[in-house]
Amino acid sequence: MSHDDQLFDAYLAHLKVERGLSKNTLAAYGGDLARYATWLEERGVSVEESSEPDVARYLAHLGAQGLSARSQARVLSALRGFYKHLLGEREVRRDPTHLLEGPKLAKRLPVVMTRDEVLRLLAAPRGQKPNAVRDRAMLHTMYAAGLRVSELVRLELGDLHLEARFLNAFGKGSKRRLVPIGDLAIEALVAYLREVRPRWALRSGSAVPQVFLTARGTPLTRQAFWKSIKDYARQAEIQKDISPHKLRHSFATHLLLGGADLRAVQSMLGHADIATTEVYTHVTGAHLQHVHRTYHPRG
């Protein structure tokens, strides 16, 4: 195996472990990177030697082959992630994708669950088995607070202020924000903290600050929660491809549908730029148009 092949394989392993990508997504990334690797090899260029003109020529080559703008953007995104990883690992000295601009695309609206789908998902962890009690607390907390999955698994006991009905979340760049939570999430958290976590924490052999643990007393990973939420979505017979981030999308959309102020939602989500939050106004607009078409006599 060549050194370049090792670099590509190591990056795919990183995506699988660190980002918890699905098999289909990993396969898409793998295919994009393999085709790029072949293209470089045919031209006698190594990954370390590759430059901005090389990447630009490759994208032009894809366009000439009839690849859609969206697919070209996906390839560029894959290459950006790859080179950013290599830069962090000091395998390359510069990122040749840094200044490249992808094709202009129409924004895709986030996929959100209906309120009924959310209720079914929250009810999916049934019974009082320890895993069900923990997962019920995690799902309720995530939907109540609109957390990213990384924020959820990173929560520590000191971040919970249940009597005051809020928690601390640490988002991108370790920025701290206060997020309110409601009675159902508090009830689910209290049940987990009283009935399950103390027993599991004793098995770790040392103090573990994270709220959500495995049965061995170790912090639960993002990948484990990704798998759990997909399993519960299947049990709840939800047809959409559900992920933790879809629950966050649903949190924001349902707040806006209920009349929440956009700035307040921005603050709860931890968005630095309100433009990021504004995409949810398009989702709610699309929902209202659907309701109008469905129920208005002249719709």
Quick one: the chain helix, strand, coil %, rounded to 5? Answer: 60, 5, 35
Catalytic residue among 85, 134, 148, 222: 148
Are residues 20 and 223 in contact, defined by beta-carbon separation less than 8 angstroms?
Answer: yes
Catalytic residue among 16, 19, 177, 271: 271
| Active site annotation includes 287 | no
H or E element, residue 261: none
Catalytic residue among 70, 94, 165, 172: 172
Catalytic residue among 140, 222, 246, 248: 248
Q: Which two tokens stand for residue 133?
A: 């009690």
The C-alpha atoms of residue 216 and residue 218 are separated, in whole angstroms, by 6
| Active site annotation includes 199 | no
Are residues 149 and 222 in contact, defined by beta-carbon separation less than 8 angstroms?
Answer: yes
Can you list the alpha helix ranges (DSSP code H) found in 146-196? Answer: 149-154, 183-195
Phi, psi (rounded to 5 degrees) for 217:
90, 10
Angle at 216 between CA 143 and CA 22, to 5 degrees: 50
Question: In 3D, which of 22, 29, 20, 105 has the Cα closest to residue 70?
Answer: 105
| Active site annotation includes 148 | yes
Catalytic residue among 11, 83, 192, 280: 280
Q: How long a stretch of residues is the chain?
A: 299
| Active site annotation includes 16 | no
| Active site annotation includes 129 | no
| Active site annotation includes 115 | no
Q: Which two tokens stand for residue 61?
A: 């080559």
The C-alpha atoms of residue 33 and residue 178 are separated, in whole angstroms, by 40
Q: Among all residues, which ones are annotated catalytic?
A: 148, 172, 245, 248, 271, 280
